[in-house]
Amino acid sequence: MPDTWNSSDKFNREALQWDDNPGRKALALSVAQAIVTATKPNNTMLALEFGCGTGLVTMEIAPLVKSLTAIDTSSEMLSVIKEKIKIAGISNVETLHTNLALPSDNLGIEKSFDLIYCSMTLHHIDDTAGFLKRISNLLSPGGIIAFADLDLENGQFHDDPLEKVHHGFDRGELAAQLKAAGLLPNSFETIYTMVKPDRSMEPANYTVFLVTAIKQDDLHCQ
């Protein structure tokens, strides 16, 4: 029974089979395309992805940016992405095993970023408001975030009813939390609808949004 928001055991167990699910790959491709359209990555940008998993989105964004720091709390997910990077001969991605959600002065990150993005990871982080402030402080002035995640759902998206997750996000509340973190929301769009059986095996629709927001100058959030 999971009694913690630290989901690394679960993702460690799932890492080797993660890419076998075609729905996950289709979602990741849609997220990557939406991020590219909304943020226009270029080869001067320093990018950070948190919750990179096996790198389904990472591998699409990496060729477009100068460098990409790919972070995850699951060592097994990171093993899979590292193997992909090696096989593809990609040299601009560094992986980092750290938990950005932990309040710590030393996360092993020395630089600031022009683009910070994630796909389906924000709902695994307990204190959204505090986390957004930490993310804001890692962004360069004028930098952009792009987060893909679930709209509010009925609590049936995850198979385990006891898994500690947010059951999606209310767009208005998330926009307010972004603003409080010094991030001015730019766009909110529905980028994907996932159809998957709920726990009663009835097909259910779950919509995924992409929100982008720009770091406002002269704001350092505490």
Ligand X SMILES: C[S@@+](CC[C@H](N)C(=O)[O-])C[C@H]1O[C@@H](n2cnc3c(N)ncnc32)[C@H](O)[C@@H]1O
- Give the residues lining the site for ligand X (CB under 6 A): 7-8, 11, 24, 28, 50-53, 56-57, 71-74, 77, 99-101, 119-121, 124-125
Q: Shortest Cβ distance from residue 216 to ligand X (Å)?
A: 24
Q: Produce one character per residue of 79-95: b if its CB has 16 or more CB atoms within 10 Å, e if not.
A: ebbeebbeeeebebbeb
CB nearer ligand X, residue 9 or residue 184: 9
Q: Shortest Cβ distance from residue 218 to ligand X (Å)?
A: 28
Answer whether 46's CB lies under 8 Å from 111's CB. Answer: yes
CB nearer ligand X, residue 35 or residue 125: 125
CB nearer ligand X, residue 62 or residue 100: 100
Q: Shortest Cβ distance from residue 8 to ligand X (Å)?
A: 6
Pairing of strands 183-197, 113-119: unpaired
The DSSP line for 81-136 is: HHHHHHHHT--SEEEEE--TTS--S--S--S-EEEEEEES-GGG-S-HHHHHHHHH
Q: Shortest Cβ distance from residue 24 to ligand X (Å)?
A: 6
CB nearer ligand X, residue 73 or residue 136: 73
